[in-house]
Amino acid sequence: MPKTVHIIGHRNPDADAICSALGYEAYKHAKGEEHCRAARCGNSNARIDAILKRFQVRLPRFIGDVTPKVHDVMTTDIHKVTVDATCSEALEIIDHYGIRVLPVVDDKDHLKGTLSIFDLGDYFIPKPRQERRMRHVFTSISDIVRSLKAEVINVVDEDRSEDLFVRVGAMDIRSFGRRYTEDETLARQSVIVVGDRYDIQQRSIMLGMRLVVITGGLPVDDDVVEMAKERGVSLIVSPADSATTSWIIRSAGRVDRVMTTDNIESFNSEERLSTVRRKVANSRAVAYMVMDEHERLVGVFSKTDLVKPIETNLILVDHNELSQAVPGADQVNIIEVVDHHRLGNPPTQQPIFFINRPLGSTSTIIADLFQRDGIEPSPAIAGVLMGGIISDTLNLRGPTTTDRDAELLSWLAGIAQTKADDLAELIFNSGSVIISHEPQDVIRSDMKTYTEGELTYSVSQIEELGFDNFLKNREKIEQALEEIRQADAYFFSALLVTDINTQNSLLLVNGDEQFVESITYPNRDAPDIFELNGIVSRKKQLIPYLTSLIRAHVGGTEPQQPVAEAPVETEA
């Protein structure tokens, strides 16, 4: 199944950003691209909520950051063992899956250690002259039975873990057992591996060996079975030959006696890959463990995983500048852009599908795609797209409005069975942003960041029915604007307050004093508030003007004056 593609608008989304994302999701699904999903990287507002409630459409999923993190590259299908697993079981997993490090966890998935082929190698092949270690295993008879897949004839205290020593009964009966008669404890710790040597089998039981293992799947004489039961000696039959059986018994030791518990490198799944890459640059670890907030193992990754391409895919709608995009967009794959703003597009790794049209809203572009391809959106999606167009064009009265906006709004109204004026009244009467939000949220509700040369600035916009709410709360809003400017180190920060009724705006600007003084509009009540009669469009009218002011401030050129008139069908 294809990886999910997130269709996402700009930070602090307005109605057009949300509505166009939902509309484009519906368009993609109609084209068979079910893996495309609408998303948002900011909070909703009263107008967005009013539109979505009117047409009973859910708010898109919130994605606040797409910066590549450990969870983007880690393996979640983890091959692991618990602390009570045997080395034999661990080896089986390592061999079957070809893995180099096996996590060891408790019954709640808390990491207790790791087990590598090197750890097992040190255990099974001790240094020379360590014969006792070559024979030793700390295990239980039940673990030996499980490892050998043995047939049980008689077992005693099979779950007791203990030190055992493996010996092969291959010598002559005359020499077998001499050491055991001298040291009774040696017999009680011994596992005798023997084939069809009746005399060795019988002698081992007489000496009271802890366990006798008959190899090759051979039958056991009844009197040997009876003797083992009488003497309390455990007796099992292994399907393997004597050499293999001896080795498997040693592998029946628990992994907790072999695993590494020190200097295990682990990370949180939410850590950024850029940070992790620096941390592991000089590490020699084969694999790294990933833990959740409860210290449970949730993933594993290697250095190779850190250089794999990131599979997060984005479609940007209603913006094309990285400064306005969801955080981390510059580190993932932007595969499409659908927008109606000026070009400030980011570099991409490969050619992408890019639509940038001089229309009044991105929702208009989406509606045009539906109509062009002969696809009729559902009434709900048609209504949502209507909301995006009405909001961004001020119900076709804004300077960015084109004939195509009007044509498509009429087409959508017929499908949604909704009058544009009725929807506009619902949207613009849905509540004052200033009254319903804290000052910082008012500014960030529709704030966009721009870059001109080496200078970065922000411009927010809100629409109100009159200026009364703004003027009553001016001081708090002005303070919040300055706090945001300082926190983000902007050259200046501005808030455009637009009166929907009069089609006029007030501009509040905080920043470089010389720059603010260069603004040529008349002041309103304060030196940092300006009257912009006939100016309602941030992208079409205000941004070009502010850009010319910045260039004049930096290079001494003459600033241009924004035009308060009906727009033409062209746009930078």
Predicted confidence (pLDDT) per residue in 401-452, tens digit: 999 999 999 999 999 999 999 999 999 888 788 988 899 999 998 899 999 8
- Candidates 125, 124, 119; CA nearest to 94 is 119
Task: Please answer whether residues 506 and 541 qualify as being in contact, where contact means their C-beta atoms are separated by less than 8 angstroms.
Answer: no
Contacts of 82 (CB under 8 A, 6+ apart): 104, 105, 106, 107
3-class secondary structure for 437-496?
Answer: CCHHHHHHCCEEEEEECCEEEEEEEEEECCCHHHHHCHHHHHHHHHHHHHHHCCCEEEEE
433-555: CATH homologous superfamily?
DHHA2 domain (3.10.310.20)
274 in helix, strand or coil? Answer: helix
pLDDT at 566 over 90: no
Cβ neighbours around 317 below 10 Å, total: 34
pLDDT in the model for residue 572: 28
Strands 288-291 and 297-301: antiparallel
Distance (Å, rounded) from C-alpha 339 to C-alpha 184?
Answer: 87
Which CATH number applies to 5-68+311-428: 3.30.470.10, 3.90.1150.10, 3.90.1640.10, 3.30.390.30?
A: 3.90.1640.10
**Average pLDDT in the 217-223 region?**
93
Q: Mean pLDDT, the chain, as a whole number?
A: 90
Task: Please answer whether residues 224 and 198 qualify as being in contact, where contact means their C-beta atoms are separated by less than 8 angstroms.
Answer: yes
pLDDT at 293 over 70: yes
Distance (Å, rounded) from C-alpha 208 to C-alpha 222?
Answer: 18
pLDDT at 567 over 60: no
- Candidates 413, 416, 385, 353; CA nearest to 33 is 353
**Average pLDDT in the 452-465 region?**
91
Whole-angstrom CA distances from 368 to 52, 371, 382, 402, 406 are 21, 5, 11, 13, 12
% of the chain exceeding 70 in pLDDT: 93
pLDDT at 471 over 90: yes
Q: pLDDT band for 284, please (50, 70, 90 cuts).
A: confident
Q: Which two tokens stand for residue 139?
A: 């295990």
% of the chain exceeding 90 in pLDDT: 66
Q: Which two tokens stand for residue 408?
A: 């498509």
Distance (Å, rounded) from C-alpha 271 to C-alpha 284?
Answer: 20
**Average pLDDT in the 83-103 region?**
89
User: What is the dihedral sign for C-alpha 44, 50, 53, 54?
Assistant: negative
- Which helix or strand (DSSP H or E) is residue 143 part of? helix 141-148
Task: Please answer whether residues 499 and 466 qualify as being in contact, where contact means their C-beta atoms are separated by less than 8 angstroms.
Answer: yes
pLDDT in the model for residue 503: 87
pTM: 0.66
| Residue for token pair 């409630």 | 53
Cβ neighbours around 121 below 10 Å, total: 10
CATH fold for domain 87-257: 3.40.1390
pLDDT in the model for residue 500: 85
What would the pLDDT profile of 226-239 be if each residue is shown by its tens digit?
Answer: 999 999 999 999 99
pLDDT in the model for residue 398: 85
pLDDT at 128 over 60: no
| Residue for token pair 């008349």 | 522
pLDDT in the model for residue 564: 54
pLDDT in the model for residue 357: 95
328 in helix, strand or coil? Answer: coil
pLDDT at 214 over 90: yes
Give the end-to-end CA distance of the chain in Å, rounded to a whole number.
Answer: 39
3-class secondary structure for 69-128?
Answer: EHHHHCECCCCCEECCCEHHHHHHHHHHHCCCEEEEECCCCEEEEEEEHHHHHHHHCCCC
Contacts of 479 (CB under 8 A, 6+ apart): 439
pLDDT in the model for residue 342: 84
Distance (Å, rounded) from C-alpha 237 to C-alpha 218?
Answer: 7
Lowest mean pLDDT among 40-49, 377-386, 486-495: 40-49
| More reliable by pLDDT, 132 or 490 | 490
pLDDT at 558 over 60: no
Lowest mean pLDDT among 164-173, 331-340, 479-488, 514-523: 164-173
- Which helix or strand (DSSP H or E) is residue 62 part of? strand 61-62
Whole-angstrom CA distances from 313 to 29, 36, 43, 396 are 16, 9, 21, 34
pLDDT at 563 over 60: no
As beta bridge partners, residue 317 has 338
**Average pLDDT in the 187-199 region?**
92
pLDDT in the model for residue 570: 31
Whole-angstrom CA distances from 15 to 387, 400, 466, 567 are 7, 16, 20, 21
Q: Domain spans of the chain?
A: 5-68+311-428, 87-257, 433-555
| More reliable by pLDDT, 126 or 19 | 19
What would the pLDDT profile of 141-158 be if each residue is shown by its tens digit?
Answer: 999 999 999 999 999 999
